[in-house]
Amino acid sequence: MVISQLIERARKYLPPAKVAVVEDAYEYASRAHDGQMRKSGDPYIEHPLQTALILAELELDASALAGALLHDVTENCGVPISELEARFGSEVAKLVDATTKLGQISLQAAGLQPAGETIRRGSGSEQAENLRKMLVAMAEDLRVVFIKLADRLHNMRTLWALDEAKQQVIAGETLEIYAPLAHRLGIWELKWQLEDLCFRYLEPERYHETAGLLAAKREHRESFIGEVTADLNHEFQRVDLVAEVSGRAKHLYSIYNKMKAKRKSFSQVMDIFAFRVLVDSVDDCYRALGMVHSLYKPVPGEFKDYIAIPKANGYQSLHTVFILQLLL
Ligand code: MN
């Protein structure tokens, strides 16, 4: 990719003065990484650029984008943090410093060595200490975690370029640490991409099997989601219920997990699609549920009331499962 793609995306939500900071960070990073290559055969700068683009799609601020562009210059190019501070200010310098440190900590926290050759389990107290450091780094500035997650997502996307032993170590670590972290922070967009990429490397046969089954229905998927969303919207409008409806196909790893957990075959896994209805009040939640159940036949035993009984983390909503005959 080229810098103009990132700039174009950043312009959609950042003022010109902030976009200039991003451009400046790019100039600096591309000079620092000049001559370096990725295992994939790309010039190194491709990696920080893609990392920054992932964050621009989530509309993170200019400092986070600059931090993403510069996240490997200390470790890979030997640029001292003080130089980044002098040029980009302490905010960006701190982001780069913390991101670099977080990378070193998380590898140890998983009990894994970065090289992938020797796998070493850290002792219990060592791991606890590393996890503590990781939590402190996160608590100081959550943008550090966003940069680290985007960095990892791009590394997962280019994992094909590494040898199999490293692929297994990195995918394992990603599934153990980074995907759950994205889940806890509610960054679903990164979470499902990380999980599906891990799935592909950790269980390639199962992955291709699931992907093949889902691909067979792909062409119908989008129109199906559109139809149900339209039906729901129409019904809510009819009764003056203000609601925001969105739908998506579930990702491969979650479908596979469901098949495994419930010992079901693909054709028996019913919730391949998920719809979300956002309303303004608790009353409207139950009203919306009633509408859904009158439109579509609910599956007995699948309804969950997390409003009356919230999840341990405070999460509250209503879940239901319904069956719709697909007219193919
Ligand atoms: Mn990196």
Residue by residue, pLDDT tens for the chain (328 residues) are 889 999 999 999 999 999 999 999 999 999 999 999 999 999 999 999 999 999 999 999 999 999 999 999 999 999 999 999 999 999 999 999 988 887 776 555 555 444 433 344 455 666 566 666 667 766 778 899 999 999 999 999 999 999 999 999 999 989 988 898 888 877 888 999 999 999 999 999 999 988 887 776 666 777 888 889 999 999 999 999 999 998 887 788 888 887 777 766 666 665 578 899 999 999 999 999 999 999 888 888 889 999 999 987 788 999 998 877 654 4
- Token readout for 107 is 């590898």
For 13, 45, 117, the CA distances from 56, given in Å and listed in that order, are: 9, 16, 35
pTM, 2 dp: 0.77
- What are 189-196's contacts with CB under 8 Å, separation 24+? 189/57, 189/58, 190/54, 190/58, 190/149, 190/150, 190/153, 192/251, 192/253, 192/254, 193/153, 193/156, 193/251, 194/149, 194/152, 194/153, 194/156, 195/251, 195/253, 195/254, 196/251, 196/252, 196/253
Please give the distance, rounded to the nearest whole angstrom, from the Cα atom of residue 72 to the centre of ligand 1: 5
Distance between Cα 48 and ligand 1 center (Å): 7
CA of 62 from ligand 1 middle (Å) equals 18
> If you measure from the C-alpha of residue 151 to the centroid of ligand 1, how many angstroms do you get, rounded to a whole number?
5
For residue 242, the SS3 value is coil
47 Cα to the center of ligand 1, angstroms: 7
How do strand 322-323 and strand 243-249 relate by DSSP bridges? unpaired
User: 242 CA distance to ligand 1 centroid (A)?
Assistant: 44
Helix (H/G/I), strand (E/B), else coil: 43 = strand
Distance between CA atoms of 157 and 323, rounded to whole angstroms? 35
- Distance (angstroms) between ligand 1 centre and the Cα of 299 equals 45
